[in-house]
Amino acid sequence: MERPNSVDSEIAVVVKKKAEKALEKFRTEATLGVSDPEMLAILGDVIGYWKDSSRPALASFSCEAVGGTPEIADDAGTIYLLAAVATGIHDDIIDKSLKNHLRWTILGRYGMEKALLAGDLLLVKAWSKFRELIRNFDKPTRVADIMEAYGLISVQICEAEFLEMSCRKKLDIDLSIREKILWNINADYEAGAKTGAILGNGSDKEVLALSGVGRRFGFLLGLKDEVEDCLNFQGNLSQRLLFESVPLPVVYAAKSSNNIQSKLQSIFQKGSIDPEDIAYIVQQCIDSGALSYVYELAKLNIMEGTELLHNLPNNQATLNLRTILENALKSMQRLCLEFSY
Protein backbone atom coordinates (compact mmCIF):
# COMPACT_ATOMS: atom_id res chain seq x y z
CA MET A 1 0.00 0.00 0.00
CA GLU A 2 1.16 3.51 -0.79
CA ARG A 3 2.83 5.32 2.08
CA PRO A 4 1.29 8.56 3.38
CA ASN A 5 2.99 11.61 1.90
CA SER A 6 4.50 14.49 3.87
CA VAL A 7 1.24 16.48 3.79
CA ASP A 8 -0.59 13.54 5.39
CA SER A 9 2.02 13.44 8.15
CA GLU A 10 1.99 17.21 8.67
CA ILE A 11 -1.78 17.49 9.11
CA ALA A 12 -1.76 14.46 11.42
CA VAL A 13 0.71 16.26 13.67
CA VAL A 14 -1.41 19.44 13.58
CA VAL A 15 -4.58 17.49 14.47
CA LYS A 16 -2.86 15.67 17.32
CA LYS A 17 -1.48 18.90 18.77
CA LYS A 18 -4.84 20.66 18.46
CA ALA A 19 -6.52 17.87 20.47
CA GLU A 20 -3.95 17.66 23.28
CA LYS A 21 -5.77 19.85 25.82
CA ALA A 22 -9.14 18.20 25.26
CA LEU A 23 -7.59 14.75 25.59
CA GLU A 24 -5.92 15.77 28.84
CA LYS A 25 -9.24 17.06 30.15
CA PHE A 26 -10.88 13.82 29.04
CA ARG A 27 -8.35 11.76 31.02
CA THR A 28 -8.95 13.90 34.11
CA GLU A 29 -12.73 13.97 33.80
CA ALA A 30 -13.05 10.23 33.21
CA THR A 31 -11.79 9.37 36.71
CA LEU A 32 -12.89 12.51 38.57
CA GLY A 33 -14.76 11.59 41.76
CA VAL A 34 -14.25 7.85 41.29
CA SER A 35 -12.77 5.97 44.28
CA ASP A 36 -13.62 2.31 43.66
CA PRO A 37 -10.34 0.55 42.73
CA GLU A 38 -11.84 -1.72 40.07
CA MET A 39 -13.79 1.08 38.42
CA LEU A 40 -10.60 3.15 38.39
CA ALA A 41 -8.83 0.21 36.75
CA ILE A 42 -11.54 0.00 34.07
CA LEU A 43 -11.38 3.72 33.41
CA GLY A 44 -7.60 3.50 33.34
CA ASP A 45 -7.88 0.96 30.53
CA VAL A 46 -10.24 3.28 28.68
CA ILE A 47 -7.83 6.19 29.03
CA GLY A 48 -5.00 3.97 27.87
CA TYR A 49 -6.52 3.02 24.53
CA TRP A 50 -8.82 5.93 23.65
CA LYS A 51 -6.64 8.48 21.88
CA ASP A 52 -9.09 9.96 19.37
CA SER A 53 -7.83 13.35 18.20
CA SER A 54 -10.32 13.89 15.40
CA ARG A 55 -13.38 14.87 17.46
CA PRO A 56 -11.77 17.58 19.63
CA ALA A 57 -9.66 18.87 16.73
CA LEU A 58 -12.77 19.24 14.57
CA ALA A 59 -14.54 21.26 17.28
CA SER A 60 -11.47 23.44 17.80
CA PHE A 61 -10.80 24.12 14.11
CA SER A 62 -14.51 24.91 13.59
CA CYS A 63 -14.41 27.44 16.41
CA GLU A 64 -11.23 29.03 15.08
CA ALA A 65 -12.45 29.08 11.48
CA VAL A 66 -15.26 31.51 12.35
CA GLY A 67 -13.01 33.77 14.42
CA GLY A 68 -13.32 32.20 17.86
CA THR A 69 -10.56 31.24 20.28
CA PRO A 70 -10.01 27.49 20.10
CA GLU A 71 -9.45 27.14 23.87
CA ILE A 72 -13.16 27.47 24.59
CA ALA A 73 -13.82 24.54 22.29
CA ASP A 74 -11.67 22.22 24.41
CA ASP A 75 -14.54 21.61 26.85
CA ALA A 76 -16.77 20.72 23.90
CA GLY A 77 -14.14 18.32 22.60
CA THR A 78 -14.02 16.66 26.01
CA ILE A 79 -17.80 16.21 25.98
CA TYR A 80 -17.75 14.40 22.67
CA LEU A 81 -14.80 12.25 23.68
CA LEU A 82 -16.60 11.10 26.83
CA ALA A 83 -19.80 10.41 24.92
CA ALA A 84 -18.02 8.61 22.08
CA VAL A 85 -16.15 6.23 24.35
CA ALA A 86 -19.35 5.52 26.33
CA THR A 87 -21.18 4.72 23.12
CA GLY A 88 -18.26 2.56 21.98
CA ILE A 89 -18.41 0.48 25.16
CA HIS A 90 -22.17 0.04 24.79
CA ASP A 91 -21.71 -0.93 21.12
CA ASP A 92 -19.29 -3.66 22.11
CA ILE A 93 -21.90 -5.04 24.52
CA ILE A 94 -24.59 -5.03 21.83
CA ASP A 95 -22.23 -6.64 19.29
CA LYS A 96 -20.75 -9.12 21.79
CA SER A 97 -17.28 -7.86 20.83
CA LEU A 98 -14.71 -9.31 23.21
CA LYS A 99 -11.89 -7.96 21.05
CA ASN A 100 -11.73 -4.94 18.78
CA HIS A 101 -8.86 -3.24 16.95
CA LEU A 102 -6.61 -6.13 17.98
CA ARG A 103 -7.14 -5.56 21.72
CA TRP A 104 -9.49 -6.72 24.46
CA THR A 105 -12.58 -4.57 24.84
CA ILE A 106 -13.87 -3.46 28.24
CA LEU A 107 -16.58 -6.10 27.78
CA GLY A 108 -14.00 -8.79 27.03
CA ARG A 109 -11.83 -7.93 30.01
CA TYR A 110 -14.39 -7.08 32.70
CA GLY A 111 -17.70 -8.58 31.62
CA MET A 112 -21.04 -7.14 30.58
CA GLU A 113 -22.30 -5.66 33.85
CA LYS A 114 -19.14 -3.72 34.66
CA ALA A 115 -18.73 -2.59 31.05
CA LEU A 116 -22.32 -1.33 31.04
CA LEU A 117 -21.79 0.64 34.24
CA ALA A 118 -18.55 2.15 32.93
CA GLY A 119 -20.31 3.27 29.75
CA ASP A 120 -23.20 4.72 31.74
CA LEU A 121 -20.81 6.64 33.98
CA LEU A 122 -18.94 8.18 31.05
CA LEU A 123 -22.19 9.15 29.33
CA VAL A 124 -23.40 10.93 32.48
CA LYS A 125 -20.04 12.68 32.75
CA ALA A 126 -20.38 13.87 29.14
CA TRP A 127 -23.71 15.55 29.82
CA SER A 128 -22.58 17.01 33.16
CA LYS A 129 -19.58 18.54 31.39
CA PHE A 130 -21.93 21.06 29.77
CA ARG A 131 -21.76 22.99 33.01
CA GLU A 132 -18.22 24.05 32.04
CA LEU A 133 -19.55 25.56 28.83
CA ILE A 134 -22.21 27.46 30.77
CA ARG A 135 -19.57 28.82 33.16
CA ASN A 136 -17.00 29.74 30.51
CA PHE A 137 -19.17 30.98 27.64
CA ASP A 138 -20.80 34.39 27.96
CA LYS A 139 -23.95 33.40 26.05
CA PRO A 140 -25.79 30.71 28.04
CA THR A 141 -28.68 30.66 25.55
CA ARG A 142 -26.27 29.48 22.86
CA VAL A 143 -25.16 26.68 25.19
CA ALA A 144 -28.81 25.70 25.43
CA ASP A 145 -28.86 25.60 21.61
CA ILE A 146 -25.81 23.33 21.69
CA MET A 147 -27.41 20.98 24.21
CA GLU A 148 -30.63 20.83 22.20
CA ALA A 149 -28.72 20.06 18.99
CA TYR A 150 -26.66 17.38 20.70
CA GLY A 151 -29.81 15.83 22.16
CA LEU A 152 -31.41 15.58 18.73
CA ILE A 153 -28.25 14.16 17.19
CA SER A 154 -28.01 11.61 20.03
CA VAL A 155 -31.45 10.38 19.02
CA GLN A 156 -30.24 9.96 15.42
CA ILE A 157 -27.25 7.96 16.61
CA CYS A 158 -29.40 5.70 18.80
CA GLU A 159 -31.88 5.14 15.99
CA ALA A 160 -29.02 4.27 13.63
CA GLU A 161 -27.73 1.73 16.15
CA PHE A 162 -31.24 0.32 16.52
CA LEU A 163 -31.68 0.03 12.76
CA GLU A 164 -28.25 -1.55 12.44
CA MET A 165 -29.29 -4.36 14.77
CA SER A 166 -32.08 -5.24 12.35
CA CYS A 167 -29.48 -5.68 9.58
CA ARG A 168 -27.68 -8.64 11.15
CA LYS A 169 -27.01 -11.39 8.60
CA LYS A 170 -29.28 -9.63 6.09
CA LEU A 171 -28.16 -9.36 2.47
CA ASP A 172 -31.48 -8.31 0.95
CA ILE A 173 -31.50 -4.94 2.68
CA ASP A 174 -31.53 -1.91 0.40
CA LEU A 175 -28.20 -0.15 0.00
CA SER A 176 -29.82 3.18 0.80
CA ILE A 177 -30.74 1.90 4.27
CA ARG A 178 -27.16 0.89 4.99
CA GLU A 179 -26.01 4.29 3.74
CA LYS A 180 -28.54 6.01 6.01
CA ILE A 181 -27.20 4.10 9.01
CA LEU A 182 -23.67 5.21 8.20
CA TRP A 183 -24.85 8.78 7.65
CA ASN A 184 -26.26 8.93 11.17
CA ILE A 185 -24.10 6.62 13.25
CA ASN A 186 -21.18 9.07 13.50
CA ALA A 187 -23.39 12.16 13.69
CA ASP A 188 -21.55 13.32 16.80
CA TYR A 189 -18.90 14.72 14.43
CA GLU A 190 -21.58 17.12 13.22
CA ALA A 191 -22.40 17.99 16.82
CA GLY A 192 -18.74 18.73 17.54
CA ALA A 193 -18.28 20.94 14.49
CA LYS A 194 -21.56 22.76 15.14
CA THR A 195 -20.63 23.31 18.77
CA GLY A 196 -17.27 24.76 17.79
CA ALA A 197 -18.90 27.11 15.31
CA ILE A 198 -21.45 28.32 17.88
CA LEU A 199 -18.78 28.85 20.52
CA GLY A 200 -16.81 30.85 17.96
CA ASN A 201 -19.84 33.13 17.41
CA GLY A 202 -20.24 31.97 13.84
CA SER A 203 -23.12 33.22 11.73
CA ASP A 204 -26.07 30.96 11.02
CA LYS A 205 -24.63 30.30 7.56
CA GLU A 206 -21.23 29.37 8.99
CA VAL A 207 -22.75 27.12 11.67
CA LEU A 208 -24.80 25.33 9.03
CA ALA A 209 -21.76 24.89 6.77
CA LEU A 210 -19.57 23.48 9.52
CA SER A 211 -22.36 21.18 10.68
CA GLY A 212 -22.42 19.76 7.16
CA VAL A 213 -18.66 19.36 7.13
CA GLY A 214 -18.75 17.44 10.41
CA ARG A 215 -21.55 15.18 9.23
CA ARG A 216 -19.69 14.31 6.04
CA PHE A 217 -16.44 13.67 7.85
CA GLY A 218 -18.23 11.25 10.18
CA PHE A 219 -19.86 9.54 7.21
CA LEU A 220 -16.47 9.10 5.54
CA LEU A 221 -15.03 7.49 8.66
CA GLY A 222 -18.01 5.13 8.71
CA LEU A 223 -17.35 4.14 5.09
CA LYS A 224 -13.68 3.57 5.92
CA ASP A 225 -14.63 1.21 8.77
CA GLU A 226 -16.91 -0.73 6.41
CA VAL A 227 -14.11 -1.27 3.89
CA GLU A 228 -11.54 -2.24 6.52
CA ASP A 229 -13.98 -4.73 8.04
CA CYS A 230 -14.93 -6.32 4.72
CA LEU A 231 -11.24 -6.74 3.82
CA ASN A 232 -10.68 -8.31 7.26
CA PHE A 233 -7.73 -6.06 8.03
CA GLN A 234 -8.00 -6.66 11.77
CA GLY A 235 -9.29 -10.22 11.60
CA ASN A 236 -12.76 -9.34 12.89
CA LEU A 237 -14.88 -9.98 9.78
CA SER A 238 -16.22 -13.25 11.21
CA GLN A 239 -17.32 -11.46 14.39
CA ARG A 240 -18.90 -8.72 12.32
CA LEU A 241 -20.87 -11.14 10.13
CA LEU A 242 -22.13 -13.24 13.03
CA PHE A 243 -23.11 -10.54 15.52
CA GLU A 244 -23.25 -7.18 13.74
CA SER A 245 -24.65 -5.71 10.55
CA VAL A 246 -23.28 -6.95 7.23
CA PRO A 247 -20.64 -4.50 5.91
CA LEU A 248 -21.85 -2.29 3.08
CA PRO A 249 -19.43 -3.72 0.46
CA VAL A 250 -20.61 -7.26 1.24
CA VAL A 251 -24.23 -6.21 0.74
CA TYR A 252 -23.24 -4.64 -2.59
CA ALA A 253 -21.40 -7.80 -3.66
CA ALA A 254 -24.44 -9.95 -2.81
CA LYS A 255 -26.63 -7.82 -5.05
CA SER A 256 -24.31 -8.33 -8.02
CA SER A 257 -25.30 -11.99 -8.48
CA ASN A 258 -28.00 -14.37 -7.23
CA ASN A 259 -25.38 -17.10 -6.97
CA ILE A 260 -23.14 -14.94 -4.81
CA GLN A 261 -26.04 -13.93 -2.59
CA SER A 262 -27.06 -17.57 -2.15
CA LYS A 263 -23.50 -18.60 -1.30
CA LEU A 264 -23.06 -15.75 1.17
CA GLN A 265 -26.37 -16.50 2.83
CA SER A 266 -25.37 -20.13 3.33
CA ILE A 267 -22.12 -18.97 4.96
CA PHE A 268 -24.01 -16.69 7.34
CA GLN A 269 -26.20 -19.54 8.55
CA LYS A 270 -23.20 -21.38 9.99
CA GLY A 271 -22.37 -21.17 13.65
CA SER A 272 -18.84 -20.14 12.74
CA ILE A 273 -17.11 -18.82 9.63
CA ASP A 274 -13.89 -20.53 8.53
CA PRO A 275 -10.89 -18.90 6.77
CA GLU A 276 -11.95 -20.24 3.36
CA ASP A 277 -15.32 -18.51 3.73
CA ILE A 278 -13.62 -15.28 4.74
CA ALA A 279 -11.35 -15.46 1.69
CA TYR A 280 -14.39 -16.00 -0.56
CA ILE A 281 -16.24 -13.00 0.92
CA VAL A 282 -13.23 -10.70 0.57
CA GLN A 283 -12.73 -11.79 -3.04
CA GLN A 284 -16.37 -11.10 -3.92
CA CYS A 285 -16.09 -7.59 -2.49
CA ILE A 286 -13.09 -7.01 -4.75
CA ASP A 287 -14.47 -8.66 -7.90
CA SER A 288 -17.96 -7.14 -7.73
CA GLY A 289 -16.78 -3.54 -7.79
CA ALA A 290 -18.04 -2.96 -4.26
CA LEU A 291 -14.92 -1.07 -3.23
CA SER A 292 -15.17 1.27 -6.21
CA TYR A 293 -18.80 1.89 -5.29
CA VAL A 294 -17.84 2.84 -1.73
CA TYR A 295 -15.02 5.06 -2.96
CA GLU A 296 -17.41 6.96 -5.26
CA LEU A 297 -19.71 7.53 -2.27
CA ALA A 298 -16.76 8.86 -0.31
CA LYS A 299 -15.60 11.05 -3.19
CA LEU A 300 -19.01 12.70 -3.65
CA ASN A 301 -19.31 13.15 0.10
CA ILE A 302 -15.97 14.95 0.42
CA MET A 303 -16.63 17.11 -2.63
CA GLU A 304 -19.79 18.33 -0.89
CA GLY A 305 -17.84 18.93 2.31
CA THR A 306 -15.11 20.98 0.64
CA GLU A 307 -17.77 23.00 -1.18
CA LEU A 308 -19.35 23.90 2.17
CA LEU A 309 -16.01 25.30 3.33
CA HIS A 310 -16.39 28.09 0.76
CA ASN A 311 -18.91 29.64 3.16
CA LEU A 312 -16.17 30.23 5.75
CA PRO A 313 -13.45 32.86 6.09
CA ASN A 314 -10.24 32.02 4.26
CA ASN A 315 -7.94 31.38 7.21
CA GLN A 316 -5.58 28.70 8.49
CA ALA A 317 -8.25 26.81 10.43
CA THR A 318 -10.43 26.57 7.32
CA LEU A 319 -7.41 25.40 5.34
CA ASN A 320 -6.74 22.74 7.99
CA LEU A 321 -10.32 21.50 7.72
CA ARG A 322 -9.98 21.31 3.94
CA THR A 323 -6.73 19.37 4.25
CA ILE A 324 -8.30 16.95 6.72
CA LEU A 325 -11.13 16.20 4.28
CA GLU A 326 -8.83 15.86 1.28
CA ASN A 327 -6.41 13.58 3.10
CA ALA A 328 -9.25 11.43 4.40
CA LEU A 329 -10.39 10.96 0.80
CA LYS A 330 -6.84 10.09 -0.29
CA SER A 331 -6.75 7.46 2.44
CA MET A 332 -10.01 5.99 1.12
CA GLN A 333 -8.63 6.03 -2.41
CA ARG A 334 -5.56 4.07 -1.35
CA LEU A 335 -7.73 1.67 0.63
CA CYS A 336 -10.38 1.03 -2.03
CA LEU A 337 -8.74 1.40 -5.40
CA GLU A 338 -5.67 -0.66 -4.63
CA PHE A 339 -7.96 -3.68 -4.33
CA SER A 340 -10.31 -2.74 -7.16
CA TYR A 341 -8.13 -3.42 -10.18
pLDDT, tens digit (0-9, with 9 covering 90-100), for 143-172: 888 999 889 999 999 999 999 998 888 999
Report d(CA 18, CA 207) in Å as an integer: 20
Report d(CA 277, CA 267) in Å as an integer: 7
Domains and CATH numbers, the chain: 6-337 (1.10.600.10)
Q: What is the pLDDT of residues 285-302, one digit of tens each?
A: 999 999 999 999 999 999
* 270 vs 77 pLDDT, higher one: 77
pLDDT at 93: 94
Assess whether pLDDT exceeds 60 at residue 4: no
Report d(CA 160, CA 182) in Å as an integer: 8
Assess whether pLDDT exceeds 80 at residue 250: yes
Report d(CA 209, CA 305) in Å as an integer: 8
Question: What is the average pLDDT score of the chain?
Answer: 92
pLDDT at 338: 78
| pTM attached to this predicted model | 0.92
3-state secondary structure the chain: CCCCCHHHHHHHHHHHHHCHHHHHHHHHHHHCCCCCHHHHHHHHHHHHHCCCCHHHHHHHHHHHHCCCCHHHHHHHHHHHHHHHHHHHHHHHHHHCCCEECCEECHHHHHCHHHHHHHHHHHHHHHHHCHHHHHHHCCCHHHHHHHHHHHHHHHHHHHHHHHHHHCCECCCCCCHHHHHHHHHHHCCHHHHHHHHHHHHCCCCHHHHHHHHHHHHHHHHHHHHHHHHHHHCCCCCCHHHHHHHCECCHHHHHHHHCCHHHHHHHHHHHCCCCCCHHHHHHHHHHHHHCCHHHHHHHHHHHHHHHHHHHHHHCCCCHHHHHHHHHHHHHHHHHHHHHHCCCC
Least confident of 67-71, 127-131, 136-140, 210-214: 136-140
